[in-house]
A and B are shown apart, each in its own frame.
Chain A
Amino acid sequence: DGGITQSPKYLFRKEGQNVTLSCEQNLNHDAMYWYRQDPGQGLRLIYYSQIVNDFQKGDIAEGYSVSREKKESFPLTVTSAQKNPTAFYLCASSIAIQGSYEQYFGPGTRLTVT
């Protein structure tokens, strides 16, 4: 089955620790994305990557870092500099269909930092 996997489903960390969220896709998509979801705020773009070894900041990149060493993988690190890291994190990937970059989403990781 083709799709996007995110692990783990739930993650708990102490304040001050860095944590890395995994995102893997076997859809052969070129572009991958990380979003943060908070209640009542929709999805906000953290980082995106259109090609291996290249990525761009989204709207809320501060306190986050990413890498794209392989086409299939786009891990997100939430650093201790992120002031409010508790949220639901969604990874997505896309391929151009008729000029429209239709995005497919993973199941998400809920991060709780105390």
Chain B
Amino acid sequence: AQSVTQLGSHVSVSEGALVLLRCNYSSSVPPYLFWYVQYPNQGLQLLLKYTTGATLVKGINGFEAEFKKSETSFHLTKPSAHMSDAAEYFCAVTPEYGNKLVFGAGTILRVKS
């Protein structure tokens, strides 16, 4: 069975500062990993995903994440936060050929001016 842990239910950064949102997963088989973003009262939008191949994955809006198998992690980063990045972020995992996503509890990102 898969599970996802997102460290920190709330993260606060200053505008222009580095954004780091942490995600650790457990999986008995090679995982596919996803980061989604949710703005208030809206659905989820895919930021990026890791399936196979390059372990550093680039996504939309300047975000990227690195799959580290030895650490079972898939942390999300952005070099410089923008006010528009304020939202809730979800990490999710599914096994290869799996059709069900398992989500973490989410991290709310606050960006201070």
On whether the beta carbons of B41 and A48 are closer than 8 Å, the reply is: no
On whether the beta carbons of A102 and B46 are closer than 8 Å, the reply is: yes
Q: Which of A63-71, A75-83, A105-113 forms contacts with chain B?
A: A105-113
Supposing A100-B96, A101-B94 touch, asked if A40 and B42 sit within 8 A by C-beta, the answer is no
What residues of A have a CB within 8 angstroms of the CB of B103 in the complex? 42-44
On whether the beta carbons of A94 and B43 are closer than 8 Å, the reply is: no
**A18 touches B (CB below 8 Å):** no
On whether the beta carbons of B97 and A31 are closer than 8 Å, the reply is: no
**A26 touches B (CB below 8 Å):** no
Q: How many contacts A-B (CB < 8 Å)? A: 65
Interface size range of chain A in the complex: 20 to 34
Residues 16-73 of B contacting A (Cβ, < 8 Å): 32, 34, 36, 41-46, 49, 51-52
Interface size range of chain B in the complex: 20 to 34
On whether the beta carbons of A107 and B43 are closer than 8 Å, the reply is: yes
A42 to B44, CA, bound (A): 11
Interface residues of B, Cβ cutoff 8 Å to A? 9, 32, 34, 36, 41-46, 49, 51-52, 90, 94, 96-101, 103-106
Interface residues of A, Cβ cutoff 8 Å to B? 4, 6, 9, 31, 33, 40-45, 48, 50, 58, 88, 90, 92, 94, 96, 98-108, 110
